[in-house]
Chain A
Amino acid sequence: MTDPDMDERLLRLNAALDGELDAMAQLAFEREMRDDPALAAEYRRLAALSDAIRRHAPREAAPQALASRIAALAPPAPPPESATATVVPLRRAWRDWRALAMAASFAVLGFAVGAGLTSLRTPSRSGGVAQNLVSDFARAEIAGQPFDVASSDRHTVKPWLADRTTVSASIVDLAAQGFPLVGGRIAVIDRVPAPTLVYRHNEHLVAVTELPPDFTGVRAGGGVETIDGYHVARWRDANLAYVAVSDADETALAEFVAAFRRGSGAATEPARP
């Protein structure tokens, strides 16, 4: 009663859902799915199930008492009160910083309106992070390997990224706005792996790297700058800092950023002070 072909098909379906196929196999699978409605339906069903499991059987927080007992097994070298003492000012500093950043972003906006966007196209020396990501982007483009996990399905991309980074990536579906998701990869910034989403826009790509919100070197703002011929935009929301690099023109990138912020920020935008 066992049909080896069907087993194979089922294993492949699961592997595709879990982001475990390599880029070529994923491509073949997605093509096959286009031509085979039954396969596509099966895939959707499986994705819905996986989604439901994540929703209804989420990772639970360990009880505080357990966490304390575990922490007590290997107490940190410095006394605990100094540890708590640093946490609070950091948080506060971050809040102040955010206010500053917001002021700065208004300043940038004013400048942009006054001077016109072209003045922002001058090469910027502002930051190792953006420079790094531009190099990443160029390298990936030249290598013909713009992503490590190839999928237009965020159910595939998100867990793949989550397994490899500590940042919980926010993945926005922008297909309707003309920026379909094509895959994801990991960028390494200061030895920290950061999730990077790759979207397509006509013949161009937009790669968005998501960093912890306290990551230095990502200024708030929203203007498009040019580094080594690529366009770069940086912004933040309450949860993450973002750097988008693209070979598309700056209008397209600005559109992308606006759409992405609308998609990701609606629920997470911090309350204005």
Chain B
Amino acid sequence: MTNLVAERRFREIVPPLLDDAYTLAKWLSRSPTDAEDIVQDAALRALSALSTVSVDRPKPWFLAIVRNAAMTFMARNRRETMAYAGDLTDLDALDSRGDDEAAPNPEQALIAAQDGERLRQAIANLPSPFLETLIMRDVNGLSYREIAEATGAPVGTVMSRLARARAMLAKTLRSEP
């Protein structure tokens, strides 16, 4: 049986983060129903963890659990592999302005970004290390340090993944539909 302290901590921490957790899980699993299972699993893990740990920064802590629950879920339930070895060399592959002769036109990029469905599709197509970094930053509002904490990656890696994720999105949105 779970103890009362854990339950009290749980009530303080988890319900306020539910929307963040659900949104993250939905992006990572790309499925609303799977997202519910993932969040429920994460909540159970959080509840049992809270009987032994107290938490300084609830948001990165709980979102880390959600992220790990999503990984486990995907590994168990999907054939497609999530494995990806991303590290500091991520940025090496980045040619953010390689196609410079066509001088990227800000207006054009902006208009493209107005097209919500296209943008969401472009986000969903990001490889998972970039996807999770982008969502944690721009949707969940975590700081770089918190994303590093939640994903277990060094801050430098978080920075390069985020820069690359945005560059990839911008590039996709600039290209012809």
Q: Of residues 27 to 50 in B, which have CB atoms within 8 Å of A's CB atoms?
A: 27, 32, 36, 39-40, 43-44, 47
A18-B137 in contact (CB<8A): yes
Q: Of residues 1 to 56 in B, which have CB atoms within 8 Å of A's CB atoms?
A: 2, 4, 6-8, 10-11, 14-16, 18-23, 26-27, 32, 36, 39-40, 43-44, 47
Among A20, A51, A57, the residue within 8 A (CB) of B143 is A20
Measured CB to CB, the closest approach of chain B to A71, in angstroms, equals 6
Q: Does B116 contact A (CB under 8 A)?
A: yes
Among A20, A45, A54, the residue within 8 A (CB) of B109 is A45
Measured CB to CB, the closest approach of chain B to A195, in angstroms, equals 13
Binds B, one of A8-16, A87-95, A182-190, A232-240: A8-16
Residues of A contacting B141 with CB < 8 Å?
159, 162-163
Binds B, one of A62-70, A128-136, A245-253: A62-70
A57-B123 in contact (CB<8A): yes
Q: Does A2 contact B (CB under 8 A)?
A: yes
Among B23, B32, B119, the residue within 8 A (CB) of A52 is B119
A49-64, CB under 8 A of B: which get 1 and which 0?
1111111111111110
Among A45, A53, A61, A70, the residue within 8 A (CB) of B138 is A53
Residues of A contacting B139 with CB < 8 Å?
53-54, 57-59
B159-A48 in contact (CB<8A): no
A48-B109, A49-B170 known; A2 and B143 CB under 8 Å? no
Residues of A contacting B10 with CB < 8 Å?
73-74
Report, as a range, how many residues of chain B touch the other chain: 35 or more
Residues of A contacting B146 with CB < 8 Å?
163
B39-A70 in contact (CB<8A): yes
Residues of B contacting A54 with CB < 8 Å?
138-139
Chain B residue, CB-CB nearest to A41: B106
Output the residue of A57, A75, A162 with the most chain B CB within 10 A. A57
Q: Does A7 contact B (CB under 8 A)?
A: yes
Chain A residue, CB-CB nearest to B22: A62
Q: Does A1 contact B (CB under 8 A)?
A: yes
B167-A61 in contact (CB<8A): no
Once bound together, how far apart are the Cα atoms of A51 and B116, in whole Å?
A: 11
Total number of A residues with any Cβ neighbor in B under 8 Å: 46
Q: Does B113 contact A (CB under 8 A)?
A: yes
Among B15, B109, B114, B135, the residue within 8 A (CB) of A71 is B15
Q: Of residues 94 to 127 in B, which have CB atoms within 8 Å of A's CB atoms?
A: 94-97, 104, 106, 109-110, 113-114, 116, 119-120, 123
Q: Does B151 contact A (CB under 8 A)?
A: no
B144-177, CB under 8 A of A: which get 1 and which 0?
1010000000000001101100110110010000
Chain B residue, CB-CB nearest to A51: B113
A62-B114 in contact (CB<8A): no
B39-A53 in contact (CB<8A): no
Q: Does A267 contact B (CB under 8 A)?
A: no
Q: Does A46 contact B (CB under 8 A)?
A: yes
Please list the residues of chain B having a beta carbon within 8 angstroms of any beta carbon in chain A: 2, 4, 6-8, 10-11, 14-16, 18-23, 26-27, 32, 36, 39-40, 43-44, 47, 91-92, 94-97, 104, 106, 109-110, 113-114, 116, 119-120, 123, 134-135, 137-144, 146, 159-160, 162-163, 166-167, 169-170, 173
The 4 closest A-B CB pairs, nearest first, are: A52-B113, A56-B116, A62-B22, A74-B7
What are 5 pairs between A and B in contact, CB < 8 Å? A10-B96, A45-B104, A56-B116, A66-B22, A66-B40
Known A74-B10, A163-B142; further 13 A-B contacts with Cβ < 8 A:
A6-B97, A14-B162, A48-B106, A49-B173, A51-B113, A52-B114, A52-B119, A57-B119, A60-B22, A66-B18, A70-B15, A73-B44, A163-B143
